[in-house]
Amino acid sequence: MNILELKDISMIYGQVRALSNVCLSVGQGEWLAIMGPSGSGKTTMMNIIGCMDKPSSGSVLLDGEELSKLTPSELTAIRRDKIGLIFQQFHLITYLTALENVMVAQYYHSMTDEKEALLALERVGLADRAKHLPSQLSGGEQQRVCIARALINYPRLILADEPTGNLDETNERIVLNILRGLHDAGTTIIVVTHDPEVAFEADRTVYLEHGRVADVVKKIEGTAAACASEAQDLVYAAKA
């Protein structure tokens, strides 16, 4: 069963074709990475999958539901119920504690439950930081609060845009391990990234180039370094 199907989608802004006839299926519980140079259409694809934009043509099926037929408020509801979003920028509210930042996400879901919010923080190993303000947390801890916020509604799909882009290696590893845990528990994960190390974690990597799928690579057995270097070569090839 596929959780997501992109069928021949194109996105056209004036003279620019941000995406051209992209087809992609993502299986339930799969971990997919989307890579490609700047301007290759990664963000456009993320916005479409995240129900923040509609393609100019083609269809998107999420959990069997055709998104193009939905109204903006129905799209918002789908995203709220099924998708957890993680971004490179943390978007935390500076004057609220970690716990409150997770709780305000619940306003969006029209429920507030401190126990649930604390549980979400526990899932990312931050229960002891619940009362800290973002300025009192490290970058890695702030990103983990964002992940906790994204987990509040137990989404079936996690959509992450450069989730480790602002983090050092140690924190990158911590965040990837959290995503690994979610994946092991059956959550589908789609990560948009420039970083081959991040893409290496995925079951499958889709390379975009000029709005088209240029290549698809399944996870290869071997060392992380070898795979990362292959991924890097592909990115360079896409840029050339």
Partner 1 sequence: MGASIGIKGVSKVFAGHDEKGGVVALDNINADIRSGEFVSILGTSGCGKSTLLRIIAGLDKATSGTIFCGGETVINPDPSRSLVFQEHTLFPWMTVRDNIKFALKSTRQYKEKRHEIAEWLSLADLESFADSYPHQLSGGMRQRASLVRTLAVASDVVLLDEPLGALDNFTRMTLQDELVRLWRERRSTMVMVTHDVDEAIYLSQRVILMSPRPGRVKNILDIPMSYPRDRASGDFMGFRVNILKQLEFAKTMQEDYTI
Binding site for partner 1 (CB under 8 A): 43, 47, 50, 52-53, 72, 76, 79, 85, 87, 89, 91, 93-96, 104, 107-108, 133, 135
Dist CA 103 CA 181 (whole Å): 22
Instruction: Compare residues 79 and 144 and give the one whose CB is closer to partner 1.
Output: 79
Rounded to a whole number of angstroms, the minimum distance from the CB of residue 110 to partner 1 is 10
Rounded to a whole number of angstroms, the minimum distance from the CB of residue 217 to partner 1 is 28
Rounded to a whole number of angstroms, the minimum distance from the CB of residue 172 to partner 1 is 21
Rounded to a whole number of angstroms, the minimum distance from the CB of residue 95 to partner 1 is 4
Rounded to a whole number of angstroms, the minimum distance from the CB of residue 53 to partner 1 is 7
Instruction: Compare residues 19 and 235 and give the one whose CB is closer to partner 1.
Output: 19
- Asked if residue 146 lies in contact with residue 92, where contact means CB atoms within 8 angstroms, the answer is yes
Instruction: Compare residues 93 and 216 and give the one whose CB is closer to partner 1.
Output: 93
Instruction: Compare residues 58 and 134 and give the one whose CB is closer to partner 1.
Output: 134
What strand order describes the sheet that includes 188-192?
83-86, 157-161, 188-192, 31-35, 204-209, 212-218
Instruction: Compare residues 31 and 87 and give the one whose CB is closer to partner 1.
Output: 87
Instruction: Compare residues 38 and 135 and give the one whose CB is closer to partner 1.
Output: 135
Rounded to a whole number of angstroms, the minimum distance from the CB of residue 74 to partner 1 is 13
